[in-house]
Structure 1
């Protein structure tokens, strides 16, 4: 991989698309804090349980889940009587995939970037990070639906941004058969291999339609599930701790930490700074809009320990170093 920070030392602008595998423990804001300047701006469009197809159709579903104190900001609006008043608004992301990916590009060509278009509102997206429903890539029907919507809907917008698309290889569930997954293999490894094969088909489909985009921005896979599998094989107890214990398929903060380390490597070709103290780790989630589903209780799983964070950081480094290609 290349070290793909934008030119001039500026941090990257990253758009996040997907479902609860990313909004649990607020992966976008976590990544901003983890990278310490590697990401200068992020925004998202998330919906619980969404596939890439349904996210395009149904749009953002975070109005309630992100209506939290850390998501709140204040702004002045017209009061309808010729004055202004202060209201509270919540950072829930953009309403649709189209709104997220189209908002930074206008159609006026400024003569640069091969006629791609002038960047508005601070610039184009550098990366578009996406995940499908975890079971989608593991089934033929799900794969076909994802490939179709990626080619027809997502890809034109990604190309207009000249952004690098990153598909997250999500992780197999903690227990066989939960959430109607009994047909996806009798072992964690079998489930994971199905997901991995499916995600590779997504990237291959995008590449086949990539055209004349610059070679440095070819589609990539973030091998999160492969990293989870490494932990499964080396430290089963810690692997169990990568899951939210209330449902056993969403990530715990430790799972999000591993996911974030893999994403940072996949984007920038280098590791994020390693947190060295418990305070460093807590700081990574200082502004998280949500951690886990509060219906499961007000207190979620614990944050990773310093020792666990170092181990997971090294797993991400080893897994991502094994694959020096954008795939």
Structure 2
């Protein structure tokens, strides 16, 4: 799905860091990208990049980080501890994207992480955290008063991570993205795992919720449609999943959706009739029903797939 790297992040243009490079006139006006060229590079090469950025760029000029290939990303966990240690010296750091890799470098469900909790505890002023991939991903519940945006882009998101997010105390979080993915790529999240998030008790500022790329999208839609957090949302994103007419019916018979600014259902399996019903029921709401899908039929059986898997 990912064929190109980010050109901007957190409102800043992305600039790859190379040790010894000539710095831009304003080194705080870019998001610094750290990436080794060799996908089988030894750990020391990525560590040298982190050290170089810390030594050569003024500490208060590191506002955003984009982490690319760190070497054998498909089998070696991203060395978060290096970033945690360096981040203690970057008081202006506000945004981090872990693993902006394209498919040619590493498939999304092969990206290996580990425990990312330390990044949140070390950076109390962090406002944006994006994570791509979920192999061996771990999060311990924390309280973080600065985080405004949290995104997990995965082909299979473990339920344990979702439960940890729900148990976090995130009073400033405005946007949450959970790409649940498929069971054959580690996506074992159930609607029970989503319960604390959908209750919204620890997310008083949440306005944009994506529970997307879901294999079991109809059950997710039914859970969201009955959730207290729905009442405060401006944007609801159930896109990229296996949403059928049953899920659309659950949405239309649950809590009102007319207060939403946007309902994103792109990449869906709705019939034309069900899609028309959704649009007719939500005048004034921007409803994205693009990329309609058809089930694949093989040996008389129908198969439906999420947009992002491997």
TM over 0.5: no
Could you say which structure has the higher strand fraction? 2
Could you say which structure has the higher helix fraction? 1
TM-score (norm 2): 0.30
